[in-house]
Amino acid sequence: MTLENSEWPFDSPPNVACITVRSIVDVGKPVLMATRDADDGAWQFLTGDAFEEAEVMLVSLRSMVERDSTLLELADVQPGWMAWREHHDSPWNRQAVVTQTEQ
* Higher-pLDDT residue of 41, 1: 41
Answer whether 44's CB lies under 8 Å from 19's CB. Answer: yes
* Higher-pLDDT residue of 63, 102: 63
Say what the pLDDT of residue 100 is. Answer: 59
| Averaged pLDDT, 69-82 | 96
Q: Flag whether pLDDT at 35 surpasses 50.
A: yes
Q: Could you tell me the pTM of the whole model?
A: 0.88
User: What residues form DSSP beta bridges with 17?
Assistant: 60
Domain ranges (residues) in the chain: 17-98
* Higher-pLDDT residue of 78, 103: 78
